[in-house]
Every structure is written in structure tokens, then in C-alpha cells.
Chains A and B, each alone.
Chain A
Amino acid sequence: MSLPNPFDPDVKLHRGGCSCGHHRNQAEHDQAHARDQREQQDRLVEGTVMRALFPRDAERRRFLKSVGAGTALAAISSIFPLGLAKEVFAETNGPLEKTKLSVGFIPITCATPIIMAHPLGYYSKYGLDVEVVKTAGWAVVRDKSLAKEYDAAHMLSPMPLAITIGAGSNPIPWTMPAVENINGQAITLAMKHKDKRDPADWKGFKFAVPFDYSMHNYLLRYYLAEHGLDPDRDVQIRAVPPPEMVANLRADNIDGFLAPDPVNQRAVYDGVGFIHLLSKEIWDGHPCCAFAASREFVTDMPNTYQALLKAILDATAYARKPENRKEIAAAIAPANYLNQPVTVVEQVLTGTFADGLGNIVRDPDRIDFDPFPYESFAIWILTQMKRWGQIDGDVDYANVAREVFLATDAARLMTEVGMEAPTDPVMAFSVMGKPFDPSKPEAYIESFPIRRT
């Protein structure tokens, strides 16, 4: 908006109205102004496209005269995504639709970028006033997101997929534009099991995972099954909110858990458990938590969504660097965020930690932050959902993955904040030495002897 010229006799400066005098108030004026700007941008895009299609103007005029403007527009739209081009152009330029946002999180280190962006000022850097709200459990995060109390939220990466396909809730299109963290989980066992390091001895154990639709659940099941244990018959796996895990371990209610940090480190800190293995030893580089928003938010407020995503990506880039980890630990440990002793959070983020058995382990890759949502991650998650009977029937793996994991958006905005983005949204990887081919998901499921399908 430009400032009105106070020497212009047509300009009204007082008594309601707007600066140009044509609208009832300034808000309406701004709205009209934004609309004009948007129209101008659209014209600009259309002009560019037409110039590219018809290098000589005489040709363009002849074409338009012979078929008519409407037909021409339809014909061009059919070969060139004009609407999309306009949208993409507008997205990177337009004003924020909403600046006061509410983002939910669960107090675990997986949420590091979402949380740290608040005390370290990444949200305000992109013009957003974000309230980060601590939430009591994953089901509550899901329900509050569905109820639109949260504009976006920290979720487990299988959750947007589950919500979209309607597993455990009504199907509502959900998206996951960024992975929060990779690695960063661990299997912790009660102290009394310190001699039972071989999973074959774990028959009859009671385990806890944070949620049914979680990487924790799939990784634990995978790990047990690879060691010949049927996760549904030989052991018990319960969904327990992370803070209750340590208390339950102390009370001898469970034998162990595969949990997000800092829960594992907290069990060591309190002397009730030891870290059996880090989740990176099951699948190095596995995604865990996610930054998720509804498809509606992404399409209705494209500029706000992009600013928010940029803030998260920027924070993630900062969190990636090992030299910043101590500062981040100190910023997110207080009661307002994780509510944990600083040393516990620091051990998780720096990777120099006590394992509970008297050893100091140094593993800088214990947790890392790589935001790119590879579509093959989504496909793997879907295969495990199907493997353990959470979904049945035919699954359009590649399509669901593409719809939910917004790799294109992530790549574009990662480049904008100065990160290096991969070019291929599909990456092959292996889990416990077994390669996963994302193009053959059904064959992958068939290859497991222990499965529910």
C-alpha cells in the first residue's frame, strides 16, 4: 500500500473512509488493493506465457481472432497449467493472509525445529506471531488439528498419511511439507534386563510406544520381527504417552519402550533404565516426526503456509549444525517448552550421552534434522501399515505419498532459505540391511515371513 498524498484534494485523511476515498474503510481499501495486485500479477503471468507461445504478436492476434479469446484460454490451459503458474507466482509474492498462528507440539526433542523457532525468533523473522502450544498426547494433537484449533502441528510422520486415508479417523486430506527430525529414538529397557541384550530373550515382554501410527511402533515391530518375534503374539505393545513411560518403567509396569527422546535419556538420568540401541541402528536416517498441516490450510492460505514452512526450514537448517546444538538445548529445555533438565536435552542433541550401563557413548548422528519429505519414506510407512493390518485393500502407494508428502514445496523453499534440496523425491534405502524398493511395495510386504496380511 502506498501512502496517500496529503496535498491531493481528492484524498481523504480523516473521518473513516480510506486513503483514496473510494472505499468505506482502510481495510476494504487494502483488500481491493491486494486484489488489484493479484490481478496484475495474473496478467503478468498470462502475458509471459502468451509471449512464449507466440513469439510474433501478429500470429497471436490472428489466432485469437480466429478462435475467440475464451477458446484460446481453454486451449492454452489444457496444455499449460496456467492456474498453477499464477498460484505459484502469487505465493511467493503476496501478503500474509494470517499472522497470528497456533502450532501444537508434543514436548519431545523431535519437535526441536518447531519449538526452537519460537525462542530463537524464526517465526517473527518471517512476519509471523506463532503461539507454540504444548499438547498432552498424539490423539489430542490430531483432534485439535482436525478441529482447526491448531493451524499446523507437530505430528508423527505416519499421522498425516493415516488421516488422509482415514485410518483411525475420518479421511481428511492432510499434508506433510517437512520432516522434523531423522533418527533420534531409542529402545530403552528396564535395569533388571541389562543381561538380556538379545531380542530372542524378550518373549513375554511388555513394550510401550507413543502411538499406534508412529515410526516407533513400526520400527519396534520391524526389529522384533527381524529377530523372529511376532510383535502381536510374543510380546505386548501398548500405546503410552511419552512422559508416562519412565514412570511405568520405574513402577515395573513395562519392560521397555521404543520412544522419542528425551524420554530415553530421562530414564537413564533417573537411573531406571538403559539404552539398548538407538533407532539409527535399525534404519539410519529414518524420518520420525513431521511438520503437518491440513490441505485446506495449504491451499487457502498459501502465503502464510509458505512463511511458516520457511521459518521451520530455516530453523531446521540451524539445528542441523552440530555447533549450535548446545545453544538449542538450553533454549528448548525450560518449562515453557520441553520442561526437562538441560543436561538431558543436551545429551540427546549433541550425541554424547550416558547409556545407563556406565559407558559414555559418542554418536553425533544420534539425532539429526533433515526436512526433505522423501516420497519413498511415505511408501515405506504405508507398507508397514498394511503389513500390520492397520489398513487393508488396495493402496495407491505412490499417489498417496505424492499427495501427502509435499516434496516439491519443500525443495523450492529449502533452496530459498539456503539449504541444499535433493532433486529426486524418491530415494532407495535399506532397513536393517534389507533394501527397500519403493516401486514394488506389495512385493516388499510379501517378503516378510511375519505379517498380518
Chain B
Amino acid sequence: MKPTSFWAAPILSVLFFGVFVGVWHFSTQQTLGEVTVDPEYAALIGAQAATGGQSAMPGPLDVGAKLWEHIRDPFYDRGTNDKGIGTQLIYSIGRVLIGFALAALVAIPLGFVIGMSPLIYKALDPFIQVLKPISPLAWMPLALYTIKDSDISAVFVIFICSLWPMLVNTAFGVASVRKDWLNVARTLEVSPLRTAFQVILPAAAPTIMTGMRISVGIAWLVIVAAEMLVGGTGIGYFVWNEWNNLSITNIISAILLIGLVGMMLDTMLAQLARAVTYKE
């Protein structure tokens, strides 16, 4: 294969982006006809209804302007229900990190135990298999009802959805540590605790990190939906509030930011994963 230039991929990316935005721009261009109703009536209805415009989809320029507006002033506070998009993102990230950290605290030690003991693994497996596929949002009404606090309920939903990938991956990573290494440790009469920390943990770390990466991705997916359900604060609430206003421009800006934050979270964990990987 011919080696390609370092710049080829970025240039292609920019090209794709340009084509995408161009198509978007021309396909949403309004066929703004003349106002077809009497002026008094037209004053009472939106431009959409007055001119009989077909597309309700905003173009890239509208979205860009809106996005700039949000980025320029991300932390404004105009009352309980109207805070800047930066503040909303911080609320959401906070919830995700708390739920995720709690899940890690439970899942990694538990996964370790399950991975090391085939008996416990078999005993707990049915529970894990039943609980794992439950949509985290299905827990929401139950959480609201029993915990009686919407903030903690949202964190709980993040906790429960982050739990399974970490648990399963940790157990798998621990269980599939190469038998040779364990045998060597046994011949050298290393204590079980030391085996766990100095042999199994480093060996399983890449798998554990993969589990954490999957978890944080799912958690970020779920928080938006959870906040749309409970309202209050967070980027999910922001989307819901703008849907209430049928403001597609705001929704698209929020979607872009959600994507960027998700990418950031993933990159951070990927960096961490690289740090614990080793070459055999």
C-alpha cells in the first residue's frame, strides 16, 4: 500500500464536512414565498404559517449563530428554569461522574470476586443476566417513587447503567488471566492478596478499562434521557425545554455539544486505558 500524506485524512474530513453542510444548507433553504394572508392575521402567526414555507428545519447558518450565542455566554443565570448551556452541561457531567464513580466502587471489587471464584460467578450469573438488559430508564419511576428525590434518582439511574459493563468486563478480565502467570505466582508462594494486586490486577486492567469506557459512554447516553424525564437541570432538561418551545435550532446546538462532551469523556478514558496497557 502506498503511504498517504499526513494531511490526507484531515483534508478529507474537512471536505466531508463541507459537503454535509452544503447539502444541509441547500436542502433547508426556505422557499419563502410572499405572505399569502392578510397582514393583521399574519401578525398573529409565525413566518412558517404565513408564507406556507415547507421546511421547518433550520439551516447550518442558523444553528451556527445559535451555537455561537450559547458558547459566548455559557454560564448565564436568568432564574431557576433558564440557565446557560455551560451550567447545564456541568450539572449533567457531575451526575454522570458521581453515578459512574459509585458504580466503579461497586462493580470493580465485585467483578474481581466473581472473576476469581467460578462458584460465585455461577451463582450470581442468573441475576446479572436478568438485570443487565433492563433499560436504565425503566428504573426511573421506581427510583423516583422509592428514593423520593429526583437528583438522587438520576444519579441512581446512571449508577445502575454503568454497573453492568464494568462488572462483566472486570469478571471476564480477571477470569481470563493466563494460567501460567498464576501458576508461577503459586510456585513462588506469593500471598493471595499480593497475587491479586500484582499479578491479576495489572493483567486484567486493560479489560477493566474497556468496561469503564463502555460504561461512561452508556451513562452519557442515558443522562440526557433521564433529565428529559425529570426536568430541573442538565443538558437533557435543556433539550426538553427547547422542545417545549419547538426550537429546533437550540436542539441541534445541544445535540452537537452532547456529542462533543461524550467524545471528551471517551478520550479521557482511552488515555487512561493506554496508560495501563503493557506489552507482553
Contact = CB atoms under 8 A, between A and B. Distances in A.
A335 B245 contact: yes
A336 B81 contact: yes
A343 interface: yes
A163 to B, nearest CB: 14
Contact of B144 (A143, A334, A337): A143
A271 B246 contact: no
A178 B158 CA distance: 39
B228 A136 contact: yes
B63 to A, nearest CB: 18
Contacts of B56: 250, 270
A244 B50 CA distance: 22
Nearest to B52: A271
Contacts, number: 108
B197 interface: no
A155 B240 CA distance: 20
Contact of A360 (B44, B46, B49, B240): B44
B230 A136 contact: yes
Interface in A101-136: 107, 118, 131-136
Contacts of A352: 44
On chain B, which size bracket covers the interface? 35 or more
Contacts of B237: 136
B79 interface: yes
A136 B37 contact: no
A17 interface: no
A134 B49 contact: no
26 contacts: A131-B80, A133-B231, A134-B80, A134-B81, A134-B232, A143-B141, A143-B144, A144-B150, A246-B246, A247-B243, A269-B44, A270-B49, A270-B246, A271-B46, A271-B49, A335-B241, A336-B79, A336-B82, A339-B241, A339-B242, A339-B244, A347-B44, A353-B44, A354-B41, A356-B49, A360-B44
Contact of B148 (A140, A147, A337): A147
A140 B237 CA distance: 13
B250 to A, nearest CB: 10
B265 interface: no
B132 to A, nearest CB: 26
A334 B82 contact: yes
Most chain A beta-carbon neighbours within 10 Å: one of B52, B78, B148: B148
A375 B222 CA distance: 44
B231 A140 contact: yes
Given A135-B231, A147-B144, A149-B149, A270 B46 contact: yes
B257 interface: no
Interface residues of A, number: 44
A266 interface: yes
Interface in A336-378: 336-337, 339-341, 343, 347, 352-354, 356, 358-360
A148 interface: yes
B45 A133 contact: no
Contacts of A336: 78-82
Contacts of B48: 269-271
Most chain B beta-carbon neighbours within 10 Å: one of A107, A147, A343: A147
B150 A149 contact: yes
A94 interface: no
A269 B232 contact: no
A243 interface: yes
Which 5 pairs across A and B sit closest by C-beta, in order of nearness?
Answer: A271-B49, A147-B148, A136-B231, A336-B82, A336-B79
Contact of B231 (A134, A334, A337, A359): A134
Contact of B243 (A144, A244, A337): A244
A148 B144 CA distance: 11
A131 B79 CA distance: 9
Given A335-B81, A336-B82, A136 B148 contact: no
